[in-house]
Amino acid sequence: MRYGMAIDLKRCVGCYGCQLSCKAEHGTPPGVLFARVLKREFGTFPNTQLVYLPTLCFHCTSAPCVDVCPTGASHYREGGVVDVTTDDCVGCRACMQACPYGARFFNETQTGYFPGQGLTPYEERRYSKENVGVVMKCNFCIDRVKAGLEPACVANCAARARTFGDLDDPQSEVAQLVRLRGGEQLQPELGTHPNVYYLPPA
Amino acid sequence: MALSATPDRVLADLGATFRPQRQWVEGRGIWLIVGHFLSGVGAGTWLFALWLDWRPGLVLAIAAVALSGLAHLRFLGRGARFWKMYRARTSWIARGFVGMSIFLPAAVLALLVPPGALSGALVVLATVGAAILIVYKGNVYAASRGVPFWNSPVLPILYATYAIRGGLALLLVTLPLGGRGIDAHGVGLIELWVAVSAAVMLGFYLGVMRSTNLAARRSVAELVRGRAAPAFYLGTVAVGLLVPILIGVLGFAGPLSHAVLAVVGATSLVGDFFAKYAIAKAGIYVPLMPAGREPVAPAA
pLDDT (tens digit per residue) in A122-162: 999 999 888 899 999 999 999 999 999 999 999 999 999 99
At residue B299, does pLDDT exceed 50?
no
Q: What is the dihedral of CA B239, B58, B93, B81, to 10 degrees?
A: -120
Q: In one letter, which amino acid is A51?
A: V
* Radius of gyration for chain B, computed over Cα atoms and rounded to the nearest angstrom: 21
At residue A188, does pLDDT exceed 50?
yes
Looking at beta carbons, which residues of chain B come within 8 Å of A43? Answer: 292-296
pLDDT band at B181 (very low <50, low <70, confident <90, very high): low
Q: Do A36 and B143 touch (CB under 8 A)?
A: no
Looking at beta carbons, which residues of chain A come within 8 Å of B145? Answer: 64, 98-100, 190, 192
* Mean pLDDT value across chain A: 94
Closest CA to A55 of A19, A80, A13, A27: A19
At residue B298, does pLDDT exceed 70?
no
Q: How far apart are CA B250 and CA A108, in angstroms?
A: 49
Closest CA to B160 of B185, B130, B134, B193: B134
Domain ranges of chain B: 16-281
Could you say which residues from 97 to 156 on chain A have a Cβ atom under 8 Å away from some Cβ of chain B?
97-102, 105-106, 108-109, 111, 132-135
Closest CA to A123 of B7, B11, B13: B7
Residue B295: what pLDDT? 37
Span of A12-21, A52-61, B200-209 with lowest mean pLDDT:
B200-209
Q: How far apart are CA B135 and CA A164, in angstroms?
A: 43
- What's the mean pLDDT in B279-286? 94
At residue B195, does pLDDT exceed 90?
no
SS3 (DSSP) at A38: strand
Span of A25-29, B37-41, B290-294 with lowest mean pLDDT:
B290-294
Could you say which residues from 143 to 182 on chain B have a Cβ atom under 8 Å away from some Cβ of chain A?
143-147, 150
- Alpha-carbon distance A2 to nearest alpha carbon in chain B (angstroms): 23
At residue B174, does pLDDT exceed 90?
no
Give the class (CATH, top level) of A3-188+195-199.
alpha beta
Q: Do A49 and B140 touch (CB under 8 A)?
A: no
- Alpha-carbon distance A171 to nearest alpha carbon in chain B (angstroms): 31
Q: Is B87 on the interface with A (CB under 8 A)?
A: yes
CB B158 within 8 A of CB B41: no
Could you say which residues from 226 to 265 on chain B have a Cβ atom under 8 Å away from some Cβ of chain A?
none
Under CATH, domain B16-281 is a member of which superfamily?
A: Formate dehydrogenase/DMSO reductase domain (1.20.1630.10)
* Mean pLDDT value across chain B: 88
pLDDT greater at residue B162 or residue B188 = B162
Percent with pLDDT over 90 in chain B: 61
- What's the mean pLDDT in B232-254? 88
Percent with pLDDT over 70 in chain A: 100
Closest CA to A99 of B274, B288, B45, B216: B288
- What's the mean pLDDT in B205-225? 91
The minimal CB distance from A46 to the residues B76, B77, B298 is found for: B298
pLDDT (tens digit per residue) in A3-52: 999 999 999 999 999 999 999 999 999 989 999 999 888 888 888 888 88
Domain ranges of chain A: 3-188+195-199
Closest CA to B5 of A71, A104, A123, A101: A104
Could you say which residues from 90 to 129 on chain B have a Cβ atom under 8 Å away from some Cβ of chain A?
90-94, 97
pLDDT band at B294 (very low <50, low <70, confident <90, very high): very low
Q: Do A71 and B6 touch (CB under 8 A)?
A: no
Residue B123: what pLDDT? 96
